[in-house]
Each structure stands twice: as C-alpha cells, then as structure tokens.
Chains A and B, each alone.
Chain A
Amino acid sequence: MLLYFVGQVLPYIAGAIFLIGVIYRVAGWLKVPVPFQLTLFPAPTSGAGRIAAVGTEVLLFKSLYNNDKNLWLWAWLLHVSLAMVILGHIVGIYFLMNQFTLIGLSASASQTVSAFLGTVFGLTLLISLIVLFYRRLVNPEVKQLSDPADYIDLLFILVIAITGNHMRLPGVEVDLPAVKAYLGSLLAFGPAPIPDSGVFIAHFVTVMLFMIYFPFSKMLHFAGFLVNRAMLVEAAPVYPTPAGTPLRSSFAGARAPVADSGQAKGVQA
C-alpha cells in the first residue's frame, strides 16, 4: 500500500506540484510590467550580443568569476555537476549506459565511461555542496544573512546526492533496466510498481519530496536569474521615440500627475 502510493501516486503529485508551482510563480512575475528600462551599462546592443551576455552568465557565472573566484569555483562546480548529473540520468537510463556507443565506443567501454563520469560528477556535486554549506557556517557575513531555509536547501540536495551516490558503492546493485522500465511506465501514464530496491526507493522519494518543495523555495533562483538578466540587458530607450513604440505600462499614459502636453495623447493604455 505504501509502496503503491510512493511508486504510483506520489510521482504524479510531485510532478504536478513542481510544474504548476514553477509556472505559477514565473507567470506571476511575467504578468507584471517592466515600466522602465533597467539596462545595466556597458550593455550589449544587438540581439546576438544580449544572448551572448546572458549565455556567458548562465554557462560561466561571469559576474561571480569577476567578483569572488573562490565562491565562483564551488558554485560553478555545483551547478555544472548538477547539470551533468541530470543529463547523465536522462541519457544513462534511457540508453542503459550504452550512450557512448553512439560515438563509436564498444558497449562495455561506454558503460565504464558512463559509470566513471557519473561517479566524478556525483562526487563533485557532493563535495561542492559540503563546501558551500561549510562556507555558510563560517563566513560571518553569509552566516548572518542566512535563513534556516538556506541551510535546509543545501541539506536537501545533499541527501539526494548521498542517496544517489550510494547506489554507486561497490556491492550495491541496482537493476537499471528495471528502473528504466519503471520510469518509462510513469512517463507513459501507466505506472508500474516501483522496483523493490531500498537504495533506489530512498533516492527516488527524496527527489519527489524535493520536487514538491521546489516551487515554494528559492530554488526558483534559476528562473529569477533569467528574468532578471533579461531586464538588465534590455535595449536602452531611443529618442525621439520611434513611431509605433507601444506604451511600456499604464504609468506612461493614464496616471499623469501634471497636465499632459498632448504629446502622449491617443496612446493611452
């Protein structure tokens, strides 16, 4: 009964809360206008430049690199290893660790490389989480800034990383084809019973709980990052205002505190 709930009901509850929650919060930001350009100079002036500017922030954490190389190292390692781990889950499980045969490796070589990369990134994630948790405790400014949730967030991911890495320990066997078949059944909305493996269930359940926690937490910083950066690289206003430029918000039209000179007439929001 409990296994039925955990294996065949909880994943849908978690998935729904995760998706709806994230969309609800991000949509809540996006429906609010940006009444003024918040361009931070020097700013890119072309579309490609804007993509490049945000792209280097996303991929390399450029601002943080320029500011604090120590924090950058661990934060960057954490996020890169996390991204690699997520990617590794998708391809490693789908191809049953044979994904590197696609680039010419033999099946056994592919499985060795897959296991090696999984271990490297899994351990990198674990170590960078511990370092950042330690930093939060010992850096006096960061310690004073931190809320309980800031520690819990790190611990939560730490538990996921530990239970995940646990499955890689020598002597711990997880039936990968069974996991693949199970996850496939969930995605096909015809849930099969969860594989009967304690270490897998522990990892799977913490991930499900984290997905439920996610939209209520500041894990949403990944989306805030993009929405924020998009505002900072917006093109600066051009004067005279080109014909046909829409009003940015109702503030520009209706609520004039002094009599309007008529220049904005006819474009009331």
Chain B
Amino acid sequence: MKIPLHMAKEKDLQAAGLRAVPEEEKQQALVKGIDQYRQWARSLMVMLETCTKCGACANACHSYLGTGDFNNIPAARADLFRKLYKRYFTWTGKTIGRYIGAEDYDAETLAKWVTYFYQCNECRRCAVYCPFGIDTAEITIAARSIMTALGVVPRFMTGVAANMIKTGNNMGIPKPATIDCCEFMEDEMKEETGLDIKIPVDKPDSDILYIPSSADFFSNVDTMIGVAKFFHAIGANWTIPSTVLEAANFGLLFSMDAMKEQNQRMREAAKMVGAKLVVQGECGHGWRAAKMYTEGANGPAPFGLVHILDYAYQNMDKLKFEKLPWRVTLHDPCNYARAGDIIEQPRELLKACVSEFVEMTPNRERNFCCGGGSGILMDEMMDIRMQLGKKKAEQVKELLPLDFFATPCSICKAQLPHVMKFYGMEDLKMGGVMDVVGKAIVLA
C-alpha cells in the first residue's frame, strides 16, 4: 500500500459489526463481491464496459491534478477495478486477457484498491466531463463497499460506524451531552439577541425534524445557531433527534448496508416525533444519501425531505436581513452541486446576507472538490489531503482578499481550514452558509 491509511483491525471491525475474511479466501471473496455488485447495480457494469480510454477525465480530476499520480486519473482508477472485472466476468478477459487489459488477482490487488479508491473523493466531476458520463464515484462506492465486506476498511470508517451504532452520530455524542450543548447555544443566543430561541431535542408532535451534522455541536456551532435563529424567525415547530444527531451518512462512503441503516434511523426518528418534513443540515454526502438513496434503499418515504439551504431559500420572504459588510465566496460542495441539486439556493441566501458575493472559477457543477470528500479526513492522510485540496486552494487564492469563505458542508468545513493554512491562507474565516444567515438575520 502506498498511502499511510490506518486499516481496521479485528476489534475495530467487530465494533462496527464487520468481520475480516481470512487472507487465503480474500481472492474468492473479492470476485464474489464483484459478481454480486454487478448484478445489483446497473451502473457498475455499464460504466466498466463503456470507457474508451480517451483520457478526457485526466484534467477534470483534482485528485490527479493535485497528486500527479497516474492511477488517480479517473479512467486509470476505474481500470484497477475494470482489469479484474474483465478477467473474471468477460469471455474475452478469460481468453485473451492481455489484449484487452485484463489482470489476475494478485498480492498487490487489494493494496492498490485501498490506495486509489481512498484517494477518490467521489466528487462526480469526471462524470460531468466524460463524453459517456462515466461516474467514477460509482466505481469507488462499489470498490469500497466490496472491500468492507472483506474486512478491508480504514479504521477511521469503522470508528465512525461504531459511534453510529452506539449513539446515532459520528462523534459519539450521548443524549445528555446533546442537551447540554443545546442549552449552551440557547444561552449564547439569549446573550446576543435577548430572545428565548430554543433548540428542542426529541420534542413530540413536531412538524419538522431537523437533522444536524454532529460536527455542528463541536466545531461548527455557528451553523447550528444560524439554523435555530432561522427556525425561530419563521416560527417553525421543530426538533432535533437525539437518536440520529447526524446528517452525515458514512455508509455511502464504505458500505451500502451501513448507508441503508443510517437512512433507516432518519425514518424512525421522523416517525417518533410525527414529523411531516425532514430538513437535512449542512452535510454534502449526507444530503446525497438522504435525498438520492432513501427511496432506493429504504422504500417509499411518508415525509417530505428538504435541505436546510433550500428550505431557508423557500422561506426568504419571511426573513429580514441586515447585510454584513463582507466580501464572500462560495465553495459548492460536490454532493450539493453535482449530486444534490443545491446550486442557486446558497448563492441567493449569501447575496441577501452580505454586501459582496463573488464566484470562484470554475463554479457550480464544475467546481473542484475540497479534497476531503468521501470521508478522506484521516489525520494520517494529511499530506495527501493537502495535495487533493491543491486545486481548491488555487481557486480561492485568486479571489483574495476575502472576509469569509462559505463552505456549507461538514466535510469541507473539516478539510478546508487545513488546506487554507497549508497554502498560506490561515487567516481566512470559514464556515457554513447558515452561519452567515444567522449573523445577518434580524429577529423580532
């Protein structure tokens, strides 16, 4: 393995409800995993069989542009999977394998898979630029999910999964701590505004279930405060659930079963408080998992589902803002722009809240990933994370000086401060779009 990723050991796997496949059975298990996945999701087969190796994806990928590593070209990354797929599941691969680029499983296979499928941020930018629309995120999601079933998974992911099982959130926050934290934020808001703005927890008969990112209870408190002020301003009957204090869904990033389980928690929380509407907080892949995967993974849903930025945008006529004298730019989280249909809403909110809004180039569905996407937030990966964030840093640098850099996704919020510091922009203030809404909003 060429990357310093810490992999889960037996006890880490157990805590996450997983198990390791013995070394001598790994090849068979991997081939079986590919076979099951290809009969489960059409995208895998079609995307593996359609690439013509035109190379158009190379310069679309921030991972390749940042690291310069050939295998980080999306077509090359997918080829690590494709070589095995051809060898074991195509007639030509079995007979004239070398001619079509098929390859046997060997001692290096899994190491290569871990190395390169954990340098893909699943950002889908290649799908925008590929003439066929081949989405390497689909291949990465499949590869990671198959490896997890073999017990080949980063310890970071099993740690999140274990916390999720224990507490319903990635950070492992128990209910009493959640309530304490809400009271702290309520006191802050009381001091600032003189108003009693509540953050209700598990309140029965709530119309709206708000699912925050658990990071909003540690490092991104301003996001949660902005959301609470917004709900107060529109007079919403809302609550947050202690059982699923997590908009993120790391399952999408390492195991489709875990993804399904997390979406199920959301459904049950909505049922418990009787919510008709679930509002998802600022989390990119979590939004994708909720919006795009709930129906497919968990069946028909009886509640409405909306993103906080969309919901705030829909309610803008009920809000009053006093513009902040700031020059602000927006980073489009990949899973909002390309995978979640949240493109214009944060722009409209920011334009209403600040004096100067500037676009970075490229933007919207052509924006580059922060480099932390798909949960590549491990400390041991810091050097690679900085390379993955290189394009983003270049984009931001062109716009300096900035008063605020809006990054409305918890993974972006965790990754970008490191990137900005590394590329000499440590003074840049960053946070969510709801942070800005919370600061500009005028409450009666």
Known: A63-B133, A144-B70, A145-B76. A75 touches B300 (CB 8 A): no
The reply to whether B339 and A40 form a contact with Cβ atoms under 8 Å apart is yes
The reply to whether A263 and B302 form a contact with Cβ atoms under 8 Å apart is yes
The reply to whether A236 and B292 form a contact with Cβ atoms under 8 Å apart is yes
Please give the distance in Å from B286's CB to the nearest CB on chain A: 15
- Among B170-178, B220-228, B264-272, the stretch that binds chain A is B264-272
Whether a CB of chain A sits under 8 angstroms from the CB of B337 is: yes
The reply to whether A38 and B58 form a contact with Cβ atoms under 8 Å apart is no
- Among A109-117, A202-210, A238-246, the stretch that binds chain B is A238-246
Chain B 354-374, CB-CB to A under 8 Å as 1, else 0, gives 000000000011000000000
* Chain B neighbourhood of A225, CB < 8 A: 50, 131-133
Chain B 286-322, CB-CB to A under 8 Å as 1, else 0, gives 0000011111111111111100000000000000000
Q: How many A-B residue pairs have CB under 8 A?
A: 228
CB < 8 Å: which of A33, A61, A258 contacts B264?
A258
Known: A40-B339, A263-B302. A236 touches B291 (CB 8 A): yes
- Among A64-72, A85-93, A161-169, the stretch that binds chain B is A64-72
The reply to whether B41 and A142 form a contact with Cβ atoms under 8 Å apart is no
Whether a CB of chain A sits under 8 angstroms from the CB of B138 is: yes
The reply to whether B41 and A42 form a contact with Cβ atoms under 8 Å apart is no
* Chain B neighbourhood of A25, CB < 8 A: 49
CB < 8 Å: which of A40, A57, A224 contacts B50?
A224
**Secondary structure of the B contact surface, majority rule:** helix
Known: A245-B300, A252-B296, A264-B299. A75 touches B54 (CB 8 A): yes
CB < 8 Å: which of A38, A218, A252 contacts B297?
A252
In the complex, which residue of chain A has the Cβ closest to the Cβ of B306? Answer: A239
Known: A40-B339, A220-B50. A63 touches B294 (CB 8 A): no
Q: Which B residues are closer than 8 A to A by beta carbons? A: 38-43, 45-47, 49-56, 58-60, 70, 73, 75-76, 79, 91-92, 98-101, 124, 127-135, 138, 256-258, 260-261, 264-265, 267-268, 271, 278, 291-305, 337-341, 343, 364-365
26 A–B contact pairs at CB < 8 A? A28-B45, A38-B138, A38-B292, A39-B341, A41-B340, A42-B364, A57-B133, A63-B130, A63-B131, A147-B99, A148-B101, A149-B101, A220-B49, A224-B50, A225-B131, A240-B300, A240-B302, A240-B304, A247-B299, A248-B295, A256-B264, A257-B257, A257-B260, A257-B264, A260-B264, A263-B300
Q: Which A residues are closer than 8 A to B by beta carbons? A: 25, 28-30, 32-43, 57, 61, 63-64, 66-68, 71, 75, 139, 141-142, 144-150, 152, 216-218, 220-221, 224-225, 227-229, 231-232, 236-237, 239-241, 245, 247-249, 251-253, 255-258, 260-261, 263-264, 267
